[in-house]
A and B are shown apart, each in its own frame.
With several copies, the nearest count.
Chain A
């Protein structure tokens, strides 16, 4: 099996698919050219993420990491949500194949983008960490994309 059971569970029964009409923050990362787009909707009340929904165009891992990421941030404070890394998403899914690690990065970025949107709308301080990163593989170099493992030999 290429994917863990957890991944397949979140792929075939993704949690929190959909839109939030009156979202407080919306973020979209990735692009169609690279085959992955994640769009995340957050409902935030008193600094707490009370609801999260997503739409994703992408592979099985992209769907599963979106699903898991929304699960992980629901009920968390913004601070807590900001600290959820791609590694945490991967671990919660019992791992990802090396070629798919970038999907977890995308999920981390989608959360950050939605929170950034929330802050912008509310005039809060900006976190520019993810600016300009389209999520396309080999792009920003800021994360452990794990590709070395697969492509050690060329």
Chain B
């Protein structure tokens, strides 16, 4: 049993696809020249980077490749968008709007800015994790310089009405950034159609390499740099270009975009199969996030009377890799801020499980997951004093 590995944690990170790694390999050992140098091998790398930029621009519907800036992670892209806007536009105002369910890359950045004298408004979400664009409308003040609301949530998968929020921001002349780290590769992204000013993506969520990311900055939008130094990325993001990383990022995004419909259908049907199995066979379960407006591969459920880490460990013993709330915070003692934000009581939030499906998962794996969960939840409930109280009617 131990040998079998079934990976249901694609929202945390994905493997690098063989085609993507293959595209990267030549740039490690062969075409390694500095892309900023004048000689021919340097210029080859410059071309590789610019081709990658065009590919990425096309994949997200950007008007111009020059609107694409490569970064070292999704977190860096989020930090850059928010701090860069804050610094550049602080004379206009120091008010920033975000939501209560953002990723720590956004929330911790906002908290940092708060300590620097900025004022942050956190828009609450409803029980399914949705932000209401009207709430954004009402929260905007004359000194608001930025709205940052994620496109899709990493824990509960809820997809926000980004286009509507962008329209609200546009009406008020306020810049709008969206963290599309979970959305990229899973649902269509068209920055022009969405009307966003900035959009962050991270490579390792769609079978690209870790340590790569991108910030889309609409032409004409000015923000301060986050990483100062050399003239790379049109003077906006310094540091010798990670050519293999950039090539891999673009290749992965290109493949994901070409394959988006089939990918969506496949993940959706696996997710629905798991959902059906769990709800039919295990009592006292609750679905977290929106029933329809959610990422195709995301399933987040709470099992009453049991605790998430125990579920994870028992799944792991059966070879199943999943996540409780957010992978980043596992090991912490507080339940996920996202689950609390959608109104879950602490004890139920503690018993939540995130399953995120990927390209190589099969129906058979999903069935094995459901069988395993039936057994594990039963075992843990029989060990649980909360379940004892429930059964005894305390």
Contact = CB atoms under 8 A, between A and B. Distances in A.
A/B contact in complex, CB under 8 angstroms: yes
Interface stretch (A42-50, A53-61, A120-128): A53-61
B384 interface: yes
Given A33-B347, A60-B309, A154-B235, A19 B388 contact: yes
A63 interface: yes
B79 to A, nearest CB: 17
Contacts of B382: 17
A55 B235 contact: no
Given A12-B317, A153-B236, A55 B310 contact: no
Interface in A95-154: 97, 99, 102, 137, 150-154
B234 A57 contact: no
A121 to B, nearest CB: 20
Q: Interface on chain B toward A: helix, strand, loop, or mixed SS?
A: helix
Interface stretch (B154-162, B181-189, B249-257, B331-339): B331-339
Interface string A20-35: 0000000010001111
Given A2-B38, A17-B383, A37-B385, A58 B310 contact: yes
A151 B331 CA distance: 12
Nearest to B313: A60
Contact of A55 (B335, B347, B383): B383
B235 A35 contact: no
B392 to A, nearest CB: 10
Which among B305, B306, B383 has the highest number of chain A CB atoms within 10 Å? Answer: B383
A35 B385 contact: no
Contacts, number: 81
A56 B379 CA distance: 12
A153 B43 CA distance: 22
Interface residues of A, number: 34
Which among A8, A28, A60 has the highest number of chain B CB atoms within 10 Å? Answer: A60
Given A2-B38, A35-B333, A56 B350 contact: no
B40 interface: yes
A67 B327 CA distance: 27
A62 interface: yes
Given A12-B317, A59-B310, A63-B310, A99 B383 contact: no
Given A12-B314, A19-B388, A60-B310, A32 B346 contact: yes
16 contacts: A1-B43, A11-B310, A32-B347, A33-B346, A33-B347, A35-B333, A35-B346, A57-B305, A58-B307, A58-B309, A59-B307, A59-B309, A62-B307, A102-B333, A151-B235, A152-B66
